């Protein structure tokens, strides 16, 4: 994850989104979501699954997250 929140984005920055995908979501579902978001936002998107966050990052990410 990038060290910048949406309020500190630099030109050319990607968008990091913390996601909770439904049970049974496949790698193809994730790729489809990523592609659709990139088309919509016209920028690169990184999808980070909440369950895959390293324990030492959870509190920092929770504090900086901007709910959508």
Residue spans of the domains in the chain: they are: 16-64
Q: Is the dihedral of CA 68, 19, 13, 45 positive or negative?
A: negative
| Half-sphere exposure at residue 7, Cβ-oriented, CA atoms within 13 angstroms | 3
User: CB of 17 within 8 A of CB of 45?
Assistant: yes
DSSP H or E stretch at residue 40: helix 27-41
Kindly give the confidence (pLDDT) of every residue in the chain, 68 residues in length, as a single tens digit, with 9 standing for 90 and above: 444 455 566 777 889 999 999 999 999 999 999 999 999 999 999 999 988 999 999 999 989 999 88
pLDDT of residue 3: 47
Cβ neighbourhood burial of 20 (10 Å; 0-12, 13-18, 19+) = exposed
Q: Which CATH number is associated with domain 16-64?
A: 3.30.460.10
């Amino acid at each position: 994850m990038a060290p910048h929140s949406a309020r500190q984005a630099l030109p050319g920055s990607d968008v990091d989104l913390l996601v909770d995908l439904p049970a049974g979501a496949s790698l193809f579902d994730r790729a489809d979501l990523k592609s659709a978001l990139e088309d919509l936002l016209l920028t690169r998107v990184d999808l980070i699954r909440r369950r895959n966050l390293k324990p030492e990052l959870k509190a920092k990410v929770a504090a900086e997250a901007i709910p959508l």
